[in-house]
Chain A
Amino acid sequence: MSATFLHDALIYLAAAVIFVPIAKRLGMGSVLGYLIGGIIIGPFFLGFIGEEGKDIMHFAEFGVVMMLFLIGLELDPSAFWRMRKLIFGTGIMQMGATTLLCFAVLFLIGFTWQAALACGLALSMSSTAIVMQTLREKGLVKTQSGRSSFAVLLFQDIAVIPILALLPLLAVSGAHTSSAGHSSFMEGLPGWAQTLVLLAAANAVVLAGRFLFVPFLRFIARIRLRELFTAAALLIVIATADLMTIVGLSPALGTFLAGVVLANSEFRHELESDIEPFKGVLLGLFFIAVGASINFKLIIANPLTVAILVSSLMAIKAMVLFTTGKFSRLSFDQNMIFTLGLSQVGEFAFVLFAFISQLKILSAHWTDMMMGATAISMTVTPLLLLANERLILPRFGTKESAEEKEADAIDARHKVIIAGFGHFGSTIGRFLRANGVNAVILDNDSDRVDVLRKTGFKVYYGDATRLDILKCAGADEAKILVAAIDSPEINLALVDTIKKEFPHLTVMMRAKNRMDAYELIDAGVDNIYRESLDTSVRLGVDALIALGFRKYSATRAGQNFIKYDETALKKLAVHRHDQEAYIFNTREQIEIQEQLLTSDREANPTLSDHAWDSELFVEKSSRNEPKE
């Protein structure tokens, strides 16, 4: 391991660790943090990394490769089939129109038609990495805008295969053969043959996925070595990527295909959890590399051209997206998120431009320009989304707070704030309302907010961790805050804000599971409600009943178990810190399970109703105790 590798790793990781928390604290999201970190350490500011940033980018592109593998994994054919209309409808419309408009503009300013078309196709791509990461952080994946974004991105990801296959056909004949620097064996082939090879390679992955990977994984799984399975998962991803690179195809697409093929296999979840951490780190690295690769020299030399290029590009993309959103009947808010979210040029454009340049369709100067514009647009996106959330939507979209006619009456009655009104929160809200308690609701899904307002709920729209929104919702006067947001991270962030700004509020928190509850206990939350406790015990009680237990005994056993488990939770939460050796999440879970099972045995949480237990009485009486 060379010193430079360690040195580079040190700089990249330090940049991530320093800038991402700052960005998160400022409410900007991790993607922007990585990008800014990259810009700062890049050759044009601190210069910690120089031109070799490009090499790192190639390495970090592997994060994108893994991301697509995971997206493929999540997309089993039945889900795909259900979304087919959305995917093809919005996808074709977005890509078609964007490509056409870009083509027209570029052709008019003097590009050859081949170059204009190639650029148009590349520029129509958006960034799956940025958009999905941002949507996930903001908890918007399940909203209409999230679904539409996913559909468009997916279509683009799929479309890269035929585009890569088509590009050689656009090459000015003979031109590409002169590039001696590249070693892909396809170099010497005529365009039509390259196209055939690409399609064959894609098919090869699908077939391998079905007939090679699954048996291979089964074999590895039987050996029962967890790290071997991780290694095997990585091997599949890397082997696929390598195969694709050899034939000159995008490795990302190869792994995406492999992911889709494996989505139906029994290893789906294991593969997901094994690849996920690698993907996260590499994707962060990728964003840093994008930030570092922005060619500021070029920008400073042609500030106007770059500015016009970026803004007109994003304007064209946004226009098309907004119209597409209209056609899929997105409400204004959702459409704005969709439009601005996807308005950048994505990471696949790097791949495509590299290929275009290699095929000599476009000059090196313009390739650099286009790549620069791509990187800038990626950097701008999180800022645009932030501006949208803070400035545009509050003014023109769904209002953060509903106009209230009985303003003074409301403050007195709304003592409860519910943050997050999905399945969990809405049940709470309905129950409270059935008992005459009208809670103030905070939610960040504008469609849901609209519906709720129509049905008479008082709803604030926006990110519940924001101080101004909490104030607006009356956190100063409220008594209870129910944190029922789906994402444990956002819930934790919310607790931090509440503890700091509104210490008088009683916080009642949803926790996904035991691990989640531990985090909350550490954060100082007293009222924790685990999704996996009451419901599970209720099922257990019904199971006992079905086995012939008396209902009341089973019910009491359930009550006792819950009580016992909550005590155990508090006890083990403290104990957890005694053992510092926890590294892996899963490992920790297993140890905790073990502790639980042991203490279950020691302090039997089952019934001990001596008074109702006549056996005990009979036993004692038979030992010649005087009868009362």
Chain B
Amino acid sequence: MNKILILFAHPRFEKSKTNRALLKNIKQVAGVTLYDLYEEYPDFNIDIEREKELLLAHEIIIWHHPLYMYSAPALLKQWMDLVLEHGWAHGSHGNNLKDKIIFNTLTIGGTKEAYAPNGHNRFTIREFLIPFEQTANLCKMIYLPPFAVHGTHLLTEKDLNEYARLYQTLLEKLAQGNFDIRITRKYSYLNDWLAKETGATL
């Protein structure tokens, strides 16, 4: 049984249909802590000690956020800067996060096709996520591919419900330990791994 910490960062959650849909089912998943960063720290004044305790109490961490300017909203970056301290999260004595699993859950306005060498955005999502991947690596954590919802403006109610169910399935599998790290890491998105596992098409 893995405990999952969702570090959710969205400065305008009340306007985000996609994220509301993704998060509405997750309370039903045992072992999941949903932690709303913009709700906890409206003044950006992060309580570092408290964050460290939360990290220690969970085995799987999810950076759940919309993709803003090819990166995370400012508060999540603030969180990374402040909480992942040298000597605690990294450095020769910083082994507190060692072997914990971490990945991004992303909501992205552009379609998957736009994130390609010859697409509008010229780079892939995985390339944009390199700072996250390497941060995880620096902290001796295991970085999994992202779970992503692309083309959020184009989604219908039905699509949203599908994504919500898929995210719930993902969390359940992770919580139950029903996955093989080596296999998931072969895919560029966790969506693709799930598609293979469950036959979902998103």
Could you list which residues of chain A lie within 8 angstroms of chain B, going by C-beta atoms?
Answer: 556, 559-560, 563, 608-612, 616-617, 620, 625-626, 628
Are the C-beta atoms of A620 and B91 separated by less than 8 Å? Answer: yes
Q: Does B90 count as interface, using CB distance less than 8 angstroms?
A: yes
A556 and B45 CA atoms in complex are apart in Å by: 7
Interface size, B (range):
10 to 19
Q: A620-B91, A625-B91, A625-B92 are in contact. Are A563 and B45 (CB under 8 A)?
A: yes
**Least CB distance, B142 to chain A, in whole angstroms:** 18
Are the C-beta atoms of A560 and B45 separated by less than 8 Å? Answer: yes
Q: Does B171 count as interface, using CB distance less than 8 angstroms?
A: no
**Least CB distance, B159 to chain A, in whole angstroms:** 32
A609 and B91 CA atoms in complex are apart in Å by: 17
Q: Does B177 count as interface, using CB distance less than 8 angstroms?
A: no
Are the C-beta atoms of A559 and B43 separated by less than 8 Å? Answer: yes
- Chain B residues 117 to 166 lying within 8 A of chain A, measured CB to CB, are 138
A and B contact pairs by CB, cutoff 8 A, 18 listed: A556-B45, A559-B43, A559-B45, A560-B45, A608-B48, A609-B82, A610-B85, A610-B86, A611-B82, A611-B85, A611-B86, A612-B81, A612-B82, A616-B86, A617-B86, A620-B86, A628-B91, A628-B138
Instruction: State the 8 A-B residue pairs at the shortest beta-carbon distance, nearest first.
Output: A559-B45, A610-B85, A611-B82, A611-B85, A625-B92, A611-B81, A559-B43, A626-B92
List the A side residues contacting B92 at CB < 8 Å: 625-626
Q: Give the number of residue pairs across the A-B interface with Cβ within 8 Å.
A: 29
A626 and B94 CA atoms in complex are apart in Å by: 12
**Least CB distance, A562 to chain B, in whole angstroms:** 9
Are the C-beta atoms of B84 and A611 separated by less than 8 Å? Answer: yes
**Least CB distance, B53 to chain A, in whole angstroms:** 16
**Least CB distance, A540 to chain B, in whole angstroms:** 16
Could you list which residues of chain B lie within 8 angstroms of chain A, going by C-beta atoms?
Answer: 43, 45, 48, 81-87, 90-92, 138
Query: Given A620-B86, A628-B91, list of 14 further CB < 8 A pairs?
Result: A559-B43, A563-B45, A610-B86, A611-B83, A611-B84, A611-B85, A616-B86, A617-B86, A620-B87, A620-B91, A625-B91, A625-B92, A626-B92, A628-B90
Which residue from chain B places its CB closest to the CB of A552 in the assembled complex? B44
A560 and B44 CA atoms in complex are apart in Å by: 11
**Least CB distance, A553 to chain B, in whole angstroms:** 12
**Least CB distance, A618 to chain B, in whole angstroms:** 11
List the A side residues contacting B81 at CB < 8 Å: 611-612
Which residue from chain B places its CB closest to the CB of A625 in the assembled complex? B92
**Least CB distance, A560 to chain B, in whole angstroms:** 7
List the A side residues contacting B82 at CB < 8 Å: 609, 611-612
List the A side residues contacting B91 at CB < 8 Å: 620, 625, 628
List the A side residues contacting B84 at CB < 8 Å: 611
List the B side residues contacting A559 at CB < 8 Å: 43, 45
A560 and B43 CA atoms in complex are apart in Å by: 11
A218 and B132 CA atoms in complex are apart in Å by: 70
List the A side residues contacting B43 at CB < 8 Å: 559
List the B side residues contacting A610 at CB < 8 Å: 85-87
List the A side residues contacting B90 at CB < 8 Å: 628
**Least CB distance, B97 to chain A, in whole angstroms:** 14
**Least CB distance, A609 to chain B, in whole angstroms:** 6
A608 and B88 CA atoms in complex are apart in Å by: 14
**Least CB distance, A463 to chain B, in whole angstroms:** 36
**Most central of A560, A608, A625 by chain B CB within 10 Å:** A625
List the A side residues contacting B138 at CB < 8 Å: 628
List the B side residues contacting A608 at CB < 8 Å: 48
**Least CB distance, A42 to chain B, in whole angstroms:** 62
**Most central of B45, B84, B90 by chain A CB within 10 Å:** B45
Which residue from chain B places its CB closest to the CB of A626 in the assembled complex? B92
**Least CB distance, A552 to chain B, in whole angstroms:** 10
A559 and B47 CA atoms in complex are apart in Å by: 11
**Least CB distance, A622 to chain B, in whole angstroms:** 13
List the B side residues contacting A609 at CB < 8 Å: 82
**Least CB distance, B98 to chain A, in whole angstroms:** 14
**Least CB distance, A394 to chain B, in whole angstroms:** 42
Which residue from chain B places its CB closest to the CB of A610 in the assembled complex? B85
A560 and B48 CA atoms in complex are apart in Å by: 12
A563 and B87 CA atoms in complex are apart in Å by: 26
**Least CB distance, B85 to chain A, in whole angstroms:** 5
**Most central of B81, B82, B86, B138 by chain A CB within 10 Å:** B86
List the B side residues contacting A563 at CB < 8 Å: 45
List the B side residues contacting A560 at CB < 8 Å: 45
A89 and B91 CA atoms in complex are apart in Å by: 81
List the A side residues contacting B87 at CB < 8 Å: 610, 620
Which residue from chain A places its CB closest to the CB of B138 in the assembled complex? A628
